């Protein structure tokens, strides 16, 4: 976020300030919405946002200690999980005051849920090859086409949409980026069943769906740049430092409401901790099963722990460099690839630890199916948000400055580029 | 401090790198590794004194600069990068650390200033013919005689053991077993009854010697019979230092291989434009950066006397062992035929990767040690 304000506040002062504020305001008998509105008004919900947009203009490095103070008193945070944070980051970077006014508060309070309408049947890794059409008709943009793998589309109020508005421009220059109202007749959502049995992603069909002109972010032709911002935030969040809200057993109205939120709005994400491999369970499980005494398993566990610890430390190095205002070093681009390695090794280790029980699923599998869910969810990590191969392309080209592949698609008008045949293109 | 360096540390690294690039180009490495001594006494003394290298982590009270393992780690990383041929690891890391951990106040005052000033080179002899690094496998004996001791036995794989002016030796009371009865001693490199033989090594940049003690006069260092704990602590510090040296070498190999494929053309295009090279290069970057994080973190943990040091030290060494060797294997492969020649420099680091992988315990051993110490600090 470019408009972060410099601040002379020390970490200790920030901690003291938030502690005092929490002492005066935190009340588990408030409703979730009442509480989050207080957070938004005080700026303590997103302290790294600018002061005029529900934040306090504090450096990002204070988020961890501030979260820590929240956790100490059991206070609930603003809504953070899912695509909504990417939407907020993109809007803060590229949106107008109108967009910020309209969306940011309701993102933080959790009133609105979002989805990311990027991938299509014909273009996934090659995201800039989108063929969903945006045509200006009268005073509206009219959308036709299809998106796929859209996580949480069935829950979402708003979608971040990448669509082609100019077919004569070259591939990356003909795209526009919209905020699309998902709750309209022209949008149809069909859940897709995944290999782990869940159905958190969807097919989304647009038949003359409509978007108001002011809901475009930047201009026609800038869609790719804006989408890159969204992706950058997504990949940065995939560096293994991310945590997921877990329902608390504490007593109080607000905890009940949070539990309900996790079970409904956040339902599509309930298997996400498993897809990262659940490294946190490994030692406990190895001790319970006695596999901790097996020298081969010990070696594999150690490999996993080394990888996950050093991936975490690498992400922290990247963050520390960012906080010091140093130019981003290579360590900042590796998180997503490293987390795929961790997830794969974790699945391997859970299998060794679990033995024959790893053949089972659901209630018959250990931990009420959690172990089985890890084994069949980990493959998502190396695909979603950009595959491992694409991450390697990005690292080699952007960080290591190796040459790009010879390109056959980036210099001619997009309408002349060879592409997959899709039903609605 | 575990995740970033201060501007002063960055500056120190930059000037050291510049000095090492000037003093230790591979031409010089090749010249020195072919000599029996393995280094140039005068040249090393000059560089050492100019940059204050052996003084870095020795406290000011003993004539040092009083910095921590963070700074020592920087020195080692840069030396690993430049493959400097000098008895730095033996003197500053092995011997000085052992003396700091074991010596009495008086002994530290007597021994360390000369090491810090670069007037004395030193080493620490603990492994024997088995090559094991544990206290229990020490068989060399020390018998009290008058005010001093007489050492009998054999030490092997002793870093710079053939040239060190001062040798710290781990030996035991006759008849004692395991971790009991172990003491540190100091021996003069030219003492009577000490036979020193240079071993022929695969990695010629790291000289190892076999030392035979026949009634060699030695002075007790620290408390008699109480060496096991300071020895274990010394080894932990040593492997953290080695891990930092290793990641410096790994990064250099990675950069050189990348530069080569950027330049070399086949099929009408740079090798670096082929995706298999790009993906390998990206994987190498991940391996090296993760190993660096582990090495830096462990060095910072040493400075903070973190109770998890035993676990973190082994984690860092295991990580560096895998990453360095894997990087070296990729680096040779990316060079093709020329990578297999003596004239190309890649093999110098390949061999350093191999020797470092094994030195003071390989990845399997340290993964096991790490597991034994997991959660010990909490
Ligand atoms: C759980 C999950 C959730 C998702 N959620 C969303 C979402 O909310 N919104 C959204 O828009 N998308 C979402 N996606 C889609 C995801 O971003 C794409 O699946 C991904 O980018 C890959 O695209 P693709 O499926 O079309 O595969 P393809 O691009 O066809 O790739 C197939 C294979 O070819 C490889 N490949 C492709 N190009 C290259 C190349 N240039 N060089 C080398 N190899 C290459 C890939 O790495 C892969 O192995 C989600 C996916 C998953 C699994």
pLDDT at A364 over 60: yes
- Give pLDDT, residue A5: 42
* Paired sense of beta strands B194-198 and A201-211, if any: unpaired
A13-27 mean pLDDT: 96
**Contact between residue A201 and residue A149 where contact means Cβ atoms under 8 Å apart:** yes
What DSSP element (H or E) covers A207? strand A201-211
Closest approach of chain B CAs to the CA of A87, in angstroms?
29
Contact list, A402 vs chain B (CB under 8 Å): 258, 261-262, 272-273, 277-278, 281
Taking CA atoms, what residue in A is nearest to B288? A331
B192-216 mean pLDDT: 97
* Candidate of A119, A175, A405 to mutate for ligand 1, largest count of ligand atoms within 8 Å of Cβ: A119
Dist CA B53 CA A424 (whole Å): 69
Query: What's the token pair of residue B358?
Result: 């094994």
**Contact between residue B233 and residue A362 where contact means Cβ atoms under 8 Å apart:** no
Same domain, B202 and B236: no
Contact list, A389 vs chain B (CB under 8 Å): 279
**Contact between residue A79 and residue A108 where contact means Cβ atoms under 8 Å apart:** yes
In-domain check, residue B378 = no
pLDDT at A6 over 70: no
Q: Which of B261, B277, B282 is opposite residue A395, by nearest beta carbon?
A: B282
* Paired sense of beta strands B122-125 and B166-172, if any: parallel
**Contact between residue B222 and residue B184 where contact means Cβ atoms under 8 Å apart:** yes
Same domain, B244 and B358: yes
What DSSP element (H or E) covers A370? helix A370-377
* Candidate of A115, A383, A404, A408 to mutate for ligand 1, largest count of ligand atoms within 8 Å of Cβ: A383
Same domain, B301 and B334: yes
Taking CA atoms, what residue in B is nearest to A294? B368
Dist CA B197 CA A57 (whole Å): 66
**Contact between residue A90 and residue A233 where contact means Cβ atoms under 8 Å apart:** yes
**Contact between residue A73 and residue A22 where contact means Cβ atoms under 8 Å apart:** yes
CATH of domain A85-224: 2.40.110.10
Closest approach of chain A CAs to the CA of B61, in angstroms?
33
Model confidence pLDDT, tens digit, residues A232-284: 888 777 665 566 677 778 889 999 999 999 999 889 999 999 999 999 999 99
Interface test with A, best of B4, B310, B377 (most A CBs within 10 A): B4
Same domain, B209 and B293: no
In-domain check, residue B84 = yes
Contact list, A337 vs chain B (CB under 8 Å): 282, 286
Same domain, B352 and B242: yes
- ipTM of the prediction: 0.91
Same domain, B153 and B258: no
Same domain, B215 and B252: no
Model confidence pLDDT, tens digit, residues A186-226: 999 999 999 999 999 999 999 999 999 999 999 999 999 99
- Give pLDDT, residue A425: 42
Of the given ranges (A200-204, A325-329, B9-13, B359-363), which has the lowest mean pLDDT? A325-329
Q: Which of B270, B278, B289 is opposite residue A331, by nearest beta carbon?
A: B289
* Candidate of A146, A337, A376, A387 to mutate for ligand 1, largest count of ligand atoms within 8 Å of Cβ: A387
Dist CA A104 CA A93 (whole Å): 12
pTM of the model: 0.92
Neighbours of B32 (CB within 10 A): 22
Taking CA atoms, what residue in A is nearest to B294? A310
Dist CA B323 CA B303 (whole Å): 24
- Residue finishing a domain among B99, B120, B141: B120
- Give pLDDT, residue A241: 56
Q: What are the CA-CA distances from residue A118 to residues A180, A275, A353, A357, B296 (Å)?
A: 12, 21, 38, 38, 39
CA A199 to chain centre: 17
How is residue A395 annotated by DSSP?
I
Q: What are the CA-CA distances from residue B34 to residues A103, B27, B250 (Å)?
A: 70, 11, 23
What residue owns the CA closest to ligand 1's atom 2? Answer: A384
Same domain, B220 and B233: no
In-domain check, residue B110 = yes
Model confidence pLDDT, tens digit, residues B260-296: 999 999 999 999 999 999 999 999 999 999 999 999 9
- Give pLDDT, residue A247: 78
- Give pLDDT, residue A61: 81
Model confidence pLDDT, tens digit, residues A90-147: 999 999 999 999 999 999 999 999 999 999 999 999 999 999 999 999 999 999 999 9
Query: What's the token pair of residue B184?
Result: 């540190």
Interface test with B, best of A307, A320, A396 (most B CBs within 10 A): A396
The more confidently predicted of residues B320 and A421 is: B320
The domains of chain A are located at: 11-73, 85-224, 253-383
Domain of residue B277: give its range: 229-372
Model confidence pLDDT, tens digit, residues A135-188: 999 999 999 999 999 999 999 999 999 999 999 999 999 999 999 999 999 999
Dist CA A98 CA A218 (whole Å): 12
Query: What's the token pair of residue B294?
Result: 């582990």
In-domain check, residue B265 = yes
How is residue A308 annotated by DSSP?
H
Q: What are the CA-CA distances from residue A48 to residues A7, B54, B144, B357 (Å)?
A: 11, 44, 68, 44
* Paired sense of beta strands A140-148 and A201-211, if any: antiparallel
> What does the angle CA A109 – CA A112 – CA A115 come to, to the nearest 5 degrees?
130
Which residues are CB-neighbours of A157 under 8 A, at least 6 positions away?
A112, A113, A114, A181, A182, A183
Model confidence pLDDT, tens digit, residues B323-365: 999 999 999 999 999 999 999 999 999 999 999 999 999 999 9
- Give pLDDT, residue A161: 98
Same domain, B137 and B211: yes
- Residue finishing a domain among B72, B94, B120: B120
**Contact between residue B55 and residue B181 where contact means Cβ atoms under 8 Å apart:** no
B72: CATH: 1.10.540.10
Model confidence pLDDT, tens digit, residues B113-141: 999 999 999 999 999 999 999 999 999 99
Class in CATH terms, A253-383: mainly alpha
Model confidence pLDDT, tens digit, residues B33-76: 999 999 999 999 999 999 999 999 999 999 999 999 999 999 99
B176: CATH: 2.40.110.10
What residue owns the CA closest to ligand 1's atom 30? Answer: A124
Closest approach of chain A CAs to the CA of B268, in angstroms?
12
Taking CA atoms, what residue in A is nearest to B316? A306
Same domain, B234 and B364: yes
Mean pLDDT (chain B, rounded)? 96
- Give pLDDT, residue B375: 80
- Residue finishing a domain among B199, B225, B251: B225
pLDDT at B177 over 70: yes
**Contact between residue A317 and residue A331 where contact means Cβ atoms under 8 Å apart:** yes
Closest approach of chain A CAs to the CA of B33, in angstroms?
32
In-domain check, residue B2 = no
Q: In chain B, how many domains are there?
A: 3
| End-to-end Cα separation, chain A, in angstroms | 35
In-domain check, residue B355 = yes
In-domain check, residue B1 = no
Nearest-10 Cα torsion for A91, A93, A97, A103: 20
Same domain, B237 and B366: yes
Model confidence pLDDT, tens digit, residues A282-319: 999 999 999 999 999 999 999 999 999 999 999 989 88
pLDDT at B378 over 50: no
* Four-residue CA torsion sign, B44, B46, B49, B50: negative
Residues with CB under 6 A from ligand 1: A 115-116, 118-119, 124-125, 149-151, 201, 380, 383-387, 389-390, 393; B 275
């Amino acid at each position: 976020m470019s408009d972060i304000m410099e601040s002379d506040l020390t970490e200790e002062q920030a901690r003291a300030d938030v502690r005092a504020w929490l002492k005066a305001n935190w009340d588990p008998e408030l409703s979730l919405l009442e509480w989050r509105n207080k957070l938004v008004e005080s700026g303590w919900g997103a302290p790294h946002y600018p002061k005029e947009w529900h934040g306090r203009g504090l450096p990002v490095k204070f988020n961890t200690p501030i979260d820590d103070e929240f956790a100490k008193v059991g206070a609930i945070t603003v809504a953070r999980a899912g695509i909504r944070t990417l939407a907020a980051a993109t809007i803060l970077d590229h949106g107008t005051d109108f967009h910020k006014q309209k969306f940011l508060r309701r993102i933080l309070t959790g009133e609105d849920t979002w989805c990311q309408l990027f991938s299509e049947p014909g273009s996934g890794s090659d995201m800039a090859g989108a063929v969903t059409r945006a045509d200006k008709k009268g005073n509206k943009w009219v959308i036709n086409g299809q998106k796929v793998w859209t996580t949480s589309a069935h829950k979402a109020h708003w979608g971040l949409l990448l669509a082609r508005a100019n077919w004569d421009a070259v591939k990356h220059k003909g795209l526009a980026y919209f905020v699309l109202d998902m709750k309209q007749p022209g949008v149809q959502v069909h859940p897709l069943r995944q290999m782990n049995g869940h159905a958190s992603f969807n097919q989304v069909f647009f038949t003359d769906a409509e978007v108001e002109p002011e809901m475009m972010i930047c201009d026609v032709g800038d869609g790719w740049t804006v989408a890159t911002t969204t992706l950058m935030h997504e990949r940065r969040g995939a560096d293994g430092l991310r945590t997921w809200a877990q329902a608390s057993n504490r007593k109080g109205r607000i905890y009940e409401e949070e539990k309900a939120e996790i079970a409904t709005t956040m339902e599509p994400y309930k298997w996400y901790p498993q897809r990262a491999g659940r490294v946190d369970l490994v030692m406990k499980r190895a001790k319970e099963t006695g596999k901790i005494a097996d020298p081969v398993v010990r070696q594999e566990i150690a490999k996993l722990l080394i990888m996950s610890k050093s991936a975490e430390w690498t992400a922290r190095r990247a963050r520390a460099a960012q906080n010091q205002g140093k130019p981003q070093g290579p360590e900042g681009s590796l998180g997503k690839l490293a987390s795929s390695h961790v997830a794969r090794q974790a699945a391997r280790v859970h299998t060794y630890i679990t033995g024959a029980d790893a053949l089972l699923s659901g209630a018959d599998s250990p931990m009420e199916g959690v172990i089985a869910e890890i084994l069949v969810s980990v493959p998502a990590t190396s695909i979603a948000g950009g595959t491992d191969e694409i991450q390697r392309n990005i690292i080699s080209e952007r960080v290591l400055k190796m040459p790009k592949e010879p390109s056959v698609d980036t210099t001619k008008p997009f309408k002349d580029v060879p592409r997959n045949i899709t039903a609605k293109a | 401090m575990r995740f970033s360096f201060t501007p002063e540390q960055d500056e120190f690294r930059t000037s050291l790198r510049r000095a090492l690039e000037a003093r230790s180009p591979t031409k010089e490495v090749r010249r020195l590794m072919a000599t029996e001594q393995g280094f140039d006494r005068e040249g090393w003394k000059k560089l050492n004194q100019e940059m204050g290298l052996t003084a870095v982590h020795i406290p000011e009270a003993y004539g040092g600069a009083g910095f921590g393992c963070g700074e020592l780690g920087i020195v080692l990383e840069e030396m690993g990068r430049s493959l400097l041929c000098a008895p730095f690891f033996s003197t500053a890391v092995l011997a000085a650390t052992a003396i700091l951990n074991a010596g009495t106040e008086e002994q530290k005052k007597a021994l360390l200033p000369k090491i810090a000033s670069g007037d004395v080179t030193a080493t620490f002899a603990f492994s024997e013919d088995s090559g094991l690094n544990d206290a229990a496998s020490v068989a060399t004996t020390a018998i009290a005689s008058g005010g001093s001791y007489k050492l009998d036995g054999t030490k092997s794989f002793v870093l710079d053991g053939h040239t060190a002016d001062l040798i710290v030796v781990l030996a035991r009371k006759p008849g004692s077993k395991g971790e009991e009865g172990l003491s540190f001693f100091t021996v003069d490199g030219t003492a009577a009854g000490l036979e020193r033989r240079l071993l022929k090594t695969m990695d010629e940049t790291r000289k190892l010697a076999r030392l035979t003690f026949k009634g060699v006069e030695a002075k007790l260092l620290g408390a008699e019979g109480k060496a096991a704990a300071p020895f274990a602590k010394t080894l932990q510090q040593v492997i953290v230092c080695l891990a930092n040296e290793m990641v410096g070498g790994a990064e250099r190999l990675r950069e050189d291989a990348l530069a080569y494929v950027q330049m070399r053309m086949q099929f009408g295009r740079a090798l670096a434009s082929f995706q298999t090279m790009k993906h390998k290069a990206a994987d190498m970057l991940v391996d090296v950066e993760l190993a660096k994080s582990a090495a830096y973190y462990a060095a910072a943990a040493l400075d903070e006397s973190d109770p998890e040091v035993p676990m973190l030290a082994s984690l860092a060494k295991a990580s560096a062992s895998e990453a360095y060797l894997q990087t070296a294997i990729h680096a040779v492969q990316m060079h093709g035929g020329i990578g297999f020649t003596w004239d190309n420099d890649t093999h110098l680091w390949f061999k350093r990767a191999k020797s470092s992988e094994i030195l003071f315990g390989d990845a399997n051993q340290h993964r096991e040690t790490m597991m034994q110490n997991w959660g010990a600090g909490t």
